[in-house]
Amino acid sequence: MNAMIAAAKRFVRDEAGITAIEYGLIAAVMAVVAVAAGTAMKAPLEAVFTGIGTKLTSANTP
């Protein structure tokens, strides 16, 4: 019985698993921020590239 209690105490004090969970949460938050930034920049980037394409097409027309 004492061995089980000692093992449970060691398990509670072990912080290695907690660190892995923290890194996983940080990676998930970074992924959400990257997706949000990409979504926010979609319209302005489309406008820029459409403008460039229009200028290139009109400059190439005789």
What percentage of the chain reaches a pLDDT higher than 70? 92
pLDDT value, residue 27? 95
Q: What is the pLDDT along the chain (62 residues), one digit of tens a residue?
A: 788 888 888 877 777 667 778 888 999 999 999 999 999 999 999 999 999 999 998 877 76
pLDDT value, residue 12? 75
The answer to pTM > 0.75 is no
pLDDT value, residue 55? 92
CB burial readout 22-54, b (16+ within 10 A) else e: eeeeeeeeeeeeeeeeeeeeeeeeeeeeeeeee
